[in-house]
Amino acid sequence: MNAYIFPGQGAQFPGMGLDLYNEYPQAKELFEQANTILGFEITKIMFEGSKEELTQTKVTQPAIFLHSVILSTILGERFQPDMVAGHSLGEFSALVANQSLSFQDGLSLVSKRALAMQKACEHQPSTMAAVLGLEDAVVEGICYSIDGIVVAANYNCPGQLVISGEIEAVKKACEVLKERGARRALLLPVGGAFHSPLMEPAREELAAAIEATPFSKPICPIYQNVSTTKVTDAHQIKENLISQLTAPVKWTQSVQQMIKDGATHFKEVGPGKVLTGLVKKINKEVEAEAVTL
């Protein structure tokens, strides 16, 4: 069974999507539509912008979404998903790919999500850190023991977990994690504490937009970050999507469940191949590759 997976923030690179724009009329049309929907020329930043310009949350999230969704559209009949999943932001790409959301509504929600997250970050300075070489339960226990807000945010693969929260609490957690044997515990260059309680203002803002957006019955199940199990009910998809901003991304658990449910081939659609690497670390037996045209 084919599982199509869609990357999240961090997969961006200068020049992303330019080849699609130049080679495929359908891609060009969707990129131009995106410029109109967003109200600024995101194509200019994607194709010609610097790495720094691309790392602004309000640019990064729509850029990755566009690259992923347009690539899956161009695949045409070769795009035959039995199931889909997306890492954080990638969940929106997955929902357009499995026809739960229209391209226009998906992009509009992603833009609102990015702006709401940016605002939440500015309201309360916060950060995230990558932790390597410890079991999940150990990391969770240490986070729980620290004064202040710090939580497990991204379960990327066994032995690789990202924590998220207030700057001092995350720094303190990193010190303790190193003492407890973490191979690495380092702060990430991100705008704020994504997938933590500090994103509550953004969650509330995005919830209203999601509630007002029509969702359709998908062509195949999505395995969502919050639930890790297959979902096809439009109402349930909305609920999980609303919870996602303040809840952890359970990527390891989602991939394990997809394999349990029959996934044998994982195909990553979008910029880079970060998720392909994570899938191989989660289970060496399954095939995983980044999609090329």
Whether 195 is a known active-site residue: answer: yes
Residues paired with 154 in a beta bridge:
162, 249
The predicted structure's pLDDT at residue 174: 97
Please pick, among 72, 195, 196, 227, the residue that the annotation labels catalytic.
195
Evaluate whether the domain defined by 125-187 bears CATH number 3.40.50.1700.
no
Cβ contact 78:64 at 8 Å:
no
Q: What is the C-alpha separation between 121 and 292, in angstroms, rounded? A: 35
Token pair for 137: 């339960």
State the burial class of residue 147 (Cβ atoms within 10 Å of its Cβ: 0-12, 13-18, 19+): exposed
The predicted structure's pLDDT at residue 115: 94
Whether 68 is a known active-site residue: answer: no
AA letter at 56: Q
Chain CA centroid to CA 130, Å: 16
Start-end of CATH 3.30.70.250 domains in the chain = 125-187
Start-end of CATH 3.40.366.10 domains in the chain = 2-122+197-290
The predicted structure's pLDDT at residue 60: 92
Cβ contact 130:223 at 8 Å:
no
**DSSP assignment of 223-272, as one string?**
E-TTT-SEE--HHHHHHHHHHTTTS-B-HHHHHHHHHHTT--EEEE-SSS
The predicted structure's pLDDT at residue 57: 82
Q: Residue 148: which of 129, 126, 132, 130 has the closest Cα?
A: 126
Q: What is the pLDDT along the chain (293 residues), one digit of tens a residue?
A: 999 999 998 889 999 999 999 999 999 999 999 999 999 999 999 999 998 899 888 899 999 999 999 999 999 999 999 999 999 999 999 999 999 999 999 999 999 999 999 899 888 889 999 999 999 999 999 999 999 999 999 999 999 999 999 999 999 999 999 999 999 999 998 888 999 999 999 999 999 999 999 999 999 999 999 999 999 999 999 999 999 999 999 999 999 999 999 999 999 999 999 999 999 999 999 999 999 88
The predicted structure's pLDDT at residue 124: 86
Tell me the pTM. Answer: 0.95
Fold annotation for 2-122+197-290: Malonyl-Coenzyme A Acyl Carrier Protein; domain 2 (3.40.366)
Please pick, among 68, 72, 88, 93, the residue that the annotation labels catalytic.
88
The predicted structure's pLDDT at residue 58: 86
